[in-house]
Amino acid sequence: MIRFEHVGFAYTKERGKILDDLSFTIEKGESVGIIGPNGAGKSTLLKLMVGLIFPQEGSIMIDSESVGKKNLAKIRQKIGYVFQDSDTQLFMPTVEADIGFGPKNYGLSTEEVKKRVEEALIKTGTQDLRSLSVLELSGGQKKLVSLATVLSLEPEVLLFDEPTIALDPKNRRRFIELFRELSGTKIIVTHDLDLILDTCSRTILLDEGKIVCDDETEKILYDQKLLEENGLELPLMIEGVKRRIDYENSVH
């Protein structure tokens, strides 16, 4: 579904390469977590997938379509991107108008647009917000509405950049449940390693623009030495289990 071949990218020559000779493949239907310290190139990787920026070296293929200016319309019909900053994504007068904006501009019928808006509202539990202005929403509500605007497009690939930022525990659980229910290919970039553990069967660890490890999620997230060497810590859930085991061993 997604193929990176020797991809390199730099915002400026002075900063150097954000991504360097990056190659990997994500199969259709996979749920993949992208983790790494700040500055590893995680968000840049998502922007390249959706064509907000373009690789200066190598190539990116999305379902046999090369990511480039000529193919942007086709690429963006296949990919939905939930931004880290919800204010970047929401701009219409009401929540309902925001969710319907994409389907309407794809030329879908009025009835189909209404159907998709309703389904997206129900999936994200935001029905009560439909008539509100974005300015009236909390940070967590904005995050859920941003997700609804993407779900209404019914993309084959979903990209999430720090999706649980601003979500309270209840809505974080709602997001995890919804994520598990969604079909298609799903990719999460986040510092929330517990979220990756709950949602992704595969994880790619980036550092300094290169792939350090690409393996089953549990193999990476249970490896304390590997995580610490790359500026990360064990997920809280694993750390809690480890402490309990250490305590029980010390008692006995």
| Whether pLDDT at 14 is above 70 | yes
Q: How far is CA 52 from CA 43, 67, 93, 166, 176, in A?
A: 11, 10, 25, 24, 27
| Whether pLDDT at 21 is above 50 | yes
Mean pLDDT of the chain: 91
Mean pLDDT value across residues 30-44? 95
243, 230 contact by CB (below 8 A): no
Mean pLDDT value across residues 49-65? 93
| Whether pLDDT at 39 is above 80 | yes
| Whether pLDDT at 244 is above 60 | no
Task: Tell me the pLDDT tens digit for each residue of 135-166.
Answer: 999 988 999 999 999 999 999 999 999 999 88
pLDDT category of residue 76 using cuts at 50, 70 and 90: confident
Dig out the tokens for 215 from the structure: 């393996």
**pLDDT value of position 166:** 83
Mean pLDDT value across residues 112-127? 95
155, 178 contact by CB (below 8 A): no
Selected residue with higher pLDDT from 166 and 129: 129
Torsion sign, CA atoms 135, 137, 142, 148: negative
Dig out the tokens for 169 from the structure: 């525990």
**pLDDT value of position 127:** 95
pLDDT category of residue 250 using cuts at 50, 70 and 90: low
Q: How far is CA 143 from CA 87, 115, 150, in A?
A: 9, 21, 11
Nearest CA-CA partner of 199 in 221, 168, 223, 214: 221
Domains of the chain plus CATH, in order, are 2-251 (3.40.50.300)
| Whether pLDDT at 99 is above 80 | yes
**pLDDT value of position 247:** 42
**pLDDT value of position 240:** 61
CA gap 238, 218 in Å, rounded: 10
**pLDDT value of position 124:** 92
| 3-state SS assignment for residue 57 | strand
| Whether pLDDT at 121 is above 90 | yes
**pLDDT value of position 100:** 96
**pLDDT value of position 252:** 56
217, 224 contact by CB (below 8 A): no
Mean pLDDT value across residues 38-56? 93
